[in-house]
Structure 1
Amino acid sequence: MDEWTGLVAALRTGGWIMYPLSLLGVLALTIIFERAYVFARFARAPAALLEPDTSDTPDMPAQTADGVERLATQHAFRRMAAAWRPDATTPLWLREASAQAIAARIERDMSRGLWLLETIVTAAPLLGLLGTIVGMMQSFKLFGGDGLVDPAGVTGGVAQALVATAVGLIVAVFALFAFNYFSRRLERLMDELELFANARLNALRARDETSGA
């Protein structure tokens, strides 16, 4: 309890700059939890979907199709599988174009909110720096022509400067780690989707070559 009281008191010392910094912290946490859920729910691919297709079926093999059907409707791999479900008369170039369009939409949806997280990485330290400047200015105002007037006020201004800087850096560090993690996770997802699409495309090409031979 004493620790929480001390933390609240320290945050109050930071002055008005703590309000926008707290807002950025809440936004960062909201984005982190929301994106973590989205990636865990809609981006995790079963290993069987990434295995090469060795069957002779026209489209997706039954095992892969069953695995896709068990995924959530908005799952990235189920959305990508839609490009490979048309009838056998659909040309390969049209399937490739459809897969590329779906991949672009998936990348857009999965990266939603990351721009704001990236902005927080830059904005939080700048707000902390602003709080530092304001705190130091308040401290310097307490110096009179005859020397130090209010030692307690000076230390309070310095404390405000230090708290604002520390909180701004903490928010930025958490947002930076989260942004880098989600960016790397998005890159891996797009690579896995490309492997999935290439496996289906190679199977269809092999089928066409076999049927034309």
Structure 2
Amino acid sequence: MQALHDSLQMLDVGGPLIWPLLALAVIMVAIMLDKAYVYWRYTRPPTALRHLLADSEVSWNELDHFAATSDPQHHYVRFLRVILKNRQRPAWWTESRAGDEALLIQHALGRGLWVLETIVTAAPLLGLLGTIYGMMHAFSLFGAHGLVDPKGVTSGVATALIATALGLIVALIALFGFNYFSRLQSRTMDDLERAGTRLLDRARLEAGAEGAGV
């Protein structure tokens, strides 16, 4: 309780710009929790699918069964279903539909990342404004006859330091979150591209064999 009380007092000393910084911190945490849930629930590559794709002898029926019995909102399953649905069509058509679905998945995974990127830039600037506010408050206490209120000067310096520190902390956490989820997005898209290439190559090979009468 004492730690909470001290924290609240520190925020109170931090000046009016502490509140927009706290708002940015809340938004940042909400976005990061949402992204973490999306990746945990809908983007982790299913182990069963990895095994199926690694097996060169797996049949299309097995892939169809997996897609039909899996969560349709899972990103890997969505991508797989598009390829399976269009595999009998010309290769360029299937590749186009798979590309469209991959683009939709990429947009879904990137949702909210621009906000984190904005917070990385905005939080230190708000902290800097807090610094300016605190120092202006401190300097205003110097009158024609010298220092008017020593305690007020200390308060102004504290306001400047707290705002700066909070702005940097929020920006650093947002930066790590942005880089981490951007890396997950890139890795997911690479995995989807490899899986799609493998399935499309197989479909082309089988179509060529059928055309040659093998």
1:206 corresponds in structure 2 to: 205
2:64 corresponds in structure 1 to: 65
Q: How many angstroms does 1:96 deviate by? A: 0.2
Cα pair 2:131 2:163 within 8 Å, conserved? yes
Structure 1, 9-18 or 66-75: larger mean CA deviation: 66-75
Q: How many angstroms does 1:87 deviate by? A: 6.1
Q: 1:56 to 1:150 in 2, by over 3 A?
A: closer
Q: How many angstroms does 1:201 deviate by? A: 0.6
Q: How many angstroms does 1:146 deviate by? A: 1.9
Q: Measure the CA separation in 2 of the matches of 1:102 and 1:91.
A: 17
Q: Tell me the number of residue pairs that the alignment of Structure 1 and Structure 2 aligns.
A: 210
2:11 corresponds in structure 1 to: 11
Structure 1: 5+ residue stretches without partners? none
2:179 corresponds in structure 1 to: 180
Secondary structure at the aligned position of 1:36 is classed as: helix
2:113 corresponds in structure 1 to: 114
What one-letter code is carried by the residue in structure 2 that aligns with 1:169?
L
Secondary structure at the aligned position of 2:44 is classed as: coil
When the two structures are superposed, what TM-score results if normalisation uses the length of structure 2?
0.92
Q: 1:209 to 1:104 in 2, by over 3 A?
A: same
Q: Measure the CA separation in 2 of the matches of 1:87 and 1:19.
A: 53
1:21 corresponds in structure 2 to: 21
Q: Measure the CA separation in 1 of the matches of 2:208 and 2:73.
A: 34
Q: 1:87 to 1:150 in 2, by over 3 A?
A: closer
Structure 2: 5+ residue stretches without partners? none
1:42 corresponds in structure 2 to: 42
Which of residues 57, 62, 68 in structure 2 aligns to 1:55?
A: 57
Q: Measure the CA separation in 2 of the matches of 1:200 and 1:93.
A: 13
What one-letter code is carried by the residue in structure 2 that aligns with 1:123?
A
Secondary structure at the aligned position of 1:86 is classed as: helix
Q: How many angstroms does 1:66 deviate by? A: 3.5
Q: Measure the CA separation in 1 of the matches of 2:30 and 2:126.
A: 20
